[in-house]
Homo-oligomer: A and B are copies of this chain.
């Protein structure tokens, strides 16, 4: 995705496209690895030497609030972020730690009593990936 499209997408969601926000969004789009704040910081701070982690936290919170990204809590240590907000399954390899995307189950039918309203469904799988196998 080119810079203009990204800029437009941010503005559509009511987010002013600053340099930092565009870089963070671009990183999320190009690295579908569900990066942590630290990973994003390590990747970008040579490009933007003044970048602070607080900005990354702020920006990602804003993205989540505006529906441009989602938090993936499959890793107990860190919060991970994903620019793909469509429902999908996450698989975490407990050997290399990588998080993979897979399709969401066709029908995730959980029998709930009335008056329980589901806003978000997460399917987290843990195991060994093809590389570590």
Contacts and interface: CB of A to CB of B under 8 A. Distances in A.
A8 interface: no
A113 interface: yes
A40 interface: no
User: How many copies of this kind of chain does the complex include?
Assistant: 2
A117 interface: yes
Nearest to A73: B76
A91 B103 contact: no
A4 interface: no
10 contacts: A73-B74, A102-B111, A114-B130, A115-B133, A116-B128, A118-B127, A119-B127, A121-B123, A121-B125, A122-B124
Interface of A: 71, 73-74, 76, 79, 89, 91, 94, 100, 102-106, 108-130, 133
